[in-house]
Amino acid sequence: MNRRTFLLGALALGGLSSLVSRLQAAENLPSDVIKKIVKSDAEWKALLPLDRYKILRKEATEPRFSSPLNHEKRAGTFACAGCDLGLFSSKTKYDSGTGWPSFYRALPGRVGTKVDTFLWRPRTEYHCIRCGGHQGHIFDDGPPPTGKRYCNNGLALRFHAGVAP
Ligand SMILES: [Zn+2]
């Protein structure tokens, strides 16, 4: 190998790895650029109405068929009731018949998940990536194209009518 082929090889490798890291950065972009909101429990309690506080900060579940958002069919964005970060597009909302607002996909990078255990059965909890506010649970009985059902508390969301993201 002469110096020139060595340099070209190094450039090609360097170019490829920088392309790969750029692609990775683009994929992670939404959550990377979203600055987390951190507040104490007392601050959240002072900020939120009690029913929203119990869901967002204590992972309570609202009674089924209680949310007016079950019937919301306009175009727009469903945002976190804790910090107003857009979490779902109206395009991915569907009527699951469960009594809770349901979506088959979250906006990219906007929710985080953790596994919790309810009646000895593991469930996937999801929450707003910015403020950590609990939203609901993900189940595997959703419609195509994802087969997922994001079962969301209506009180954990605010709806903004407008162009759907
Ligand atoms: Zn939030």
For residue 117, the model assigns a pLDDT of 83
Residues 51 and 29 grouped into a single domain: no
- The residue that leads in pLDDT, 64 or 122, is 64
Characterise 94 by phi-psi region: left (phi > 0), alpha (psi -120 to 50), beta (else).
beta
Tell me which residue range forms the domain holding 20.
Answer: 1-33
Examine the domain organization and report whether 6 and 62 are in the same domain: no
Which residues are close to ligand 1, an ion, with C-beta < 5 A? 80, 82-83, 85, 128, 130-131, 133
High-pLDDT (> 70) share of the chain, % = 81
Distance from the alpha carbon of residue 7 to the mean position of ligand 1, in angstroms: 49
115: domain CATH number is 2.170.150.20
From the candidates 80, 83, 128, 151, give the one annotated as an active-site residue: 151
**Residue 151 a catalytic site member:** yes
| Whether residue 98 sits in one domain with residue 54 | yes
Please report which helix (H) or strand (E) contains residue 159, including its range. strand 157-161
Q: How far is the CA of 15 from the centre of ligand 1 (A)?
A: 38
For residue 120, the model assigns a pLDDT of 82
Full-model pTM:
0.80
- Residues 53, 8, single domain; the answer is no
* pLDDT per residue as tens digits for the range 93-134: 999 999 999 999 999 999 999 998 877 888 999 999 999 999
Q: What token pair was written down for 101?
A: 């607002």
